[in-house]
């Protein structure tokens, strides 16, 4: 896997690696679609609504994977001696894709919750933490868009990503403590746990692979697009400087 | 030139911020009336003494957090408007000292704000205190306010770099201070004895508030200089 910036726009951003990952994503997504909607049986207590799981669980996994990727890439940027902007672009790309998957997780989760718990929203620690992670990411992306030089952007957003690593466990812990002192919602009909047969578990695992491959494909492409954008911005600056110095002569 | 250590710089910066505040009287003339108005508005919105008493602790802390944004924006506006932050950097001041100093000043201002708001909530929402609950309340106010101040200055510095985008500050700070709002509101509930909470139940929350304040103090000391030095 290579994150080197692409210098010739005419080449596009695809490479043999991304094409292979793309093919894996398409093939496994096709199985999730067939397996999730047709091949797997409905669940004993939840009925057909259990099919939401094949989207919800993998997207939640990817959302947290994206969060970890952003944090690791940010730390790598700050710790690397060369301060390579490649790490920053991976962090940014991963955060952008992560926000989308976190949105999918929250929407699919609340639909599933309506069907199994009888309510769209419950103050469950996992739910609350995920929604806070979503808002934190939105803030992170807003800070990325503040402007300044590329290294200013990289440093600022890397610090913010690492602060989020401190924030999210504190939020999670405080919500756990909060809920443990309160009565549980009585609308709960089932606890949301699913008894799975082999085919269901297999489809769910394929779903995780499919979503992970999609995430990797999107991040690799996106970080290359970001690299191109950085190059364009630098060139514009060079051209502008050249024009100004030209005027002076 | 005499070299000044981190605590010396912190004292200087805190004194400067408080002097600016004292001369401008923004806290007394604008922020406190705003916070008091928010408390009164809550009473209008949540008509009914029972409901207000039940919600009193949460309302006092929400009013604090909302008012905090005004104080932070003001504190950094003064510094960025005439390039004071850049001047401090150019003068070679240790930015950790600046962070501690600004946090100390914000802590004291929020403390005043908090005492007034808690007193208001006691009066407006008909809550009474015992000696035990008053001790708990003091611990809550000190720990929670310290946490808010450390987070506020850290993210306030970041938002100050984005000139003209004040909307960024609440978006960044609100998710981070969620544990303070949860912890302080629940602990204050125990101190007020509302919602059937006992005083002893409040102390674990004070523990959480303390851990939060320490964690963000360390995080701020480590990251604030890098955020500002660009």
pLDDT tens string B149-159 = 999 999 988 88
Give the domain range for residue B137: 2-229
**For residue B69, is pLDDT > 80?**
yes
List B residues 171-190 in contact with A (Cβ-Cβ < 8 A): 171-172, 174-176, 178-179, 182-183, 186
pLDDT score at A11: 60
**For residue B164, is pLDDT > 80?**
no
pLDDT score at A189: 42
Give DSSP secondary structure letters for B198-227.
Answer: -GGGGHHHHHHHHHHHHHHHHHHHHHHHHH
Contact list in A for residue B172 (CB cut-off 8 A) is 139, 142-143, 160
Contact list in A for residue B212 (CB cut-off 8 A) is 170
**For residue B143, is pLDDT > 90?**
yes
Contact A162 B174 (CB under 8 A): no
Structural domain count of chain B: 1
| pTM for the whole structure | 0.83
CA atoms within 13 A on the CB side of B43: 15
A79 touches chain B (CB under 8 A): no
Contact A156 B158 (CB under 8 A): yes
Contact list in B for residue A135 (CB cut-off 8 A) is 171, 174-175
Distance CA A60, CA A109 (A): 9
Judge contact between A93 and A78, C-beta under 8 A.
Answer: no
B158 touches chain A (CB under 8 A): yes
Residue of A nearest to B202 (CA): A181
Contact list in A for residue B223 (CB cut-off 8 A) is 159, 162-163
More confident residue, A158 or B84: A158
Contact list in B for residue A166 (CB cut-off 8 A) is 215-216, 219
Q: Which of A148, A159, A180 to mutate to test the interface with B (most CBs of B within 10 A)?
A: A159
Output the tens digit of pLDDT for each of chain A's 249 residues: 444 444 444 466 778 888 999 999 999 999 999 988 888 888 777 778 888 889 999 999 999 999 999 999 999 998 888 888 889 999 999 999 999 999 999 999 888 888 888 888 887 778 888 888 899 999 999 888 887 788 888 888 999 999 988 888 888 888 888 776 554 444 444 455 556 778 888 888 999 999 999 999 999 999 999 998 888 888 887 887 788 777 654
Q: Which of A67, A137, A139, A166 to mutate to test the interface with B (most CBs of B within 10 A)?
A: A139
Counting one residue from chain A and one from chain B, the pairs whose CB atoms sit within 8 A come to 71
A169 touches chain B (CB under 8 A): no
pLDDT of B40-68, one tens digit each? 888 888 877 777 777 888 888 999 998 89
Instruction: Give the pLDDT mean for B113-122.
Output: 87
pLDDT score at A88: 92
Q: Which of A132, A162, A163 to mutate to test the interface with B (most CBs of B within 10 A)?
A: A163
pLDDT score at A192: 52
Give DSSP secondary structure letters for chain B.
Answer: -----HHHHHHHHHHHHHHHHHHH-HIIIIIHHHHHHHHHHHHHHT-SHHHHHHHHHHHHHHHHHHHHHHHHHHHHHHHHHTTHHHHHHHTT--HHHHHHHHHHHHHHHHHHHHHHHHHHHHHHTT----HHHHHHHHHHHHHHHHHHHHHHHHHHHHHHHSTT-TTHHHHHHHHHHHHHHHHHHHHHHHHHTGGG--GGGGHHHHHHHHHHHHHHHHHHHHHHHHHH--
């Amino acid at each position: 896997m290579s994150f080197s910036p692409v210098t010739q726009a005419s080449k596009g951003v695809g490479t043999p690696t991304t094409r292979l990952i793309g093919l894996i994503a398409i093939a496994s997504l096709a199985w999730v679609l067939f397996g999730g909607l047709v091949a797997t049986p409905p669940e004993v207590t939840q009925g057909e609504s259990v099919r939401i799981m094949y989207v919800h669980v993998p997207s939640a996994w990817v959302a947290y994977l994206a969060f970890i990727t952003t944090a690791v890439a940010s730390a790598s940027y700050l710790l690397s001696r060369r301060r390579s902007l490649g790490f920053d672009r991976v962090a940014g790309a991963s955060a952008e894709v992560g926000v989308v998957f976190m949105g999918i997780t929250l929407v699919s989760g609340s639909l599933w919750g309506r069907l199994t718990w009888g309510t769209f929203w419950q103050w469950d620690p996992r739910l609350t933490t995920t929604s806070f992670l979503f808002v934190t990411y939105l803030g992170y992306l807003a800070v990325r868009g503040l402007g300044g030089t590329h290294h200013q952007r990289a440093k600022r957003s890397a610090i913010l990503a690492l602060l989020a690593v401190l924030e999210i466990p504190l939020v999670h812990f405080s919500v756990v403590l909060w809920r443990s002192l309160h009565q549980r919602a009585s609308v709960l009909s089932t606890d949301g746990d699913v008894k799975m047969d082999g085919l269901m578990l297999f489809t769910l695992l394929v779903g995780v692979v499919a979503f992970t491959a999609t995430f990797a494909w999107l991040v690799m492409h996106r970080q290359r697009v970001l690299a191109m954008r950085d190059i364009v911005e630098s060139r514009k600056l060079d051209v502008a400087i050249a024009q100004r110095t030209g005027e002076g002569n | 030139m005499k070299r000044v250590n981190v605590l010396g710089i912190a004292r200087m910066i805190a004194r400067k911020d408080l002097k600016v505040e004292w001369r401008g009287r923004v806290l007394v003339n604008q922020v406190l009336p705003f916070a008091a108005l928010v408390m009164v508005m809550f009473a209008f919105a949540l008509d009914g003494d029972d409901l207000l008493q039940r919600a009193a602790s949460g309302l006092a802390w929400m009013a604090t957090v909302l008012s905090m944004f005004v104080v932070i924006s003001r504190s950094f506006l003064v510094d960025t408007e005439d390039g004071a932050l850049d001047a401090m950097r150019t003068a070679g001041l240790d930015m950790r000292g600046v962070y501690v100093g600004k946090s100390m000043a914000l802590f004291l201002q929020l403390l005043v704000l908090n005492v007034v708001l808690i007193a208001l909530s006691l009066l407006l929402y008909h809550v009474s205190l015992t000696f035990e609950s008053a001790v708990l309340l003091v611990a809550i106010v000190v720990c929670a306010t310290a946490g808010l101040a450390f987070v506020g200055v850290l993210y306030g510095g970041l938002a100050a770099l984005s000139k003209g985008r004040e909307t960024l500050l609440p978006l960044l700070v609100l998710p981070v201070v969620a544990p303070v709002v949860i912890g302080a509101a629940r602990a204050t509930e125990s101190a007020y004895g509302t919602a059937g909470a006992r005083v002893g139940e409040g102390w674990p929350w004070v523990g959480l508030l303390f851990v939060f304040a320490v964690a963000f103090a360390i995080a701020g000391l480590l990251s604030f200089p890098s955020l500002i030095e660009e």
